[in-house]
Amino acid sequence: MRIRGDHAHLAIDGCLDVRSAADARSVLHRAVDAGEGDLVLDLGGLTSWDATGLGVIMGTHRRAGRSGRRLVLRGVPIQLQRLLVATRLHRILAIESYAPSAQPTPAVAVE
């Protein structure tokens, strides 16, 4: 995982998962604390994520709100859009260019 940017605009490339969560959380929280206004998080380079990575995004969203800021997600991969819709987090998070057509596909039982 690689995060580049500053306190107003960051981009994540690679995997946001349990292995990278602590580093990502630290960088994102420092960006929230150091700036003002919207913090844009570009996820266009995100190749994979897990529940821990999603937790980092939600934690950053909460921290930004407590600081009077707003976390704005940009370039959200379609698979992550589907997950956000399925979990109804798309109603909480600010997502640029949100595509309503990213409705989740019917659930399939996995054994």
Domain residue ranges of the chain, discontinuous segments joined by +: 2-95
In this prediction, residues 42-48 reach a mean pLDDT of 96
Residues 6+ apart with CB under 8 A from 107: none
List the CATH code of the domain at 2-95.
3.30.750.24
Q: How confident is the model at residue 44 (pLDDT cuts 50, 70, 90)?
A: very high
In this prediction, residues 24-43 reach a mean pLDDT of 96
In this prediction, residues 59-80 reach a mean pLDDT of 97
Give yes or no for residue 107 having a pLDDT over 60: no
- pLDDT for the residue numbered 5: 92
* Strand 9-16 with 2-5, pairing: antiparallel
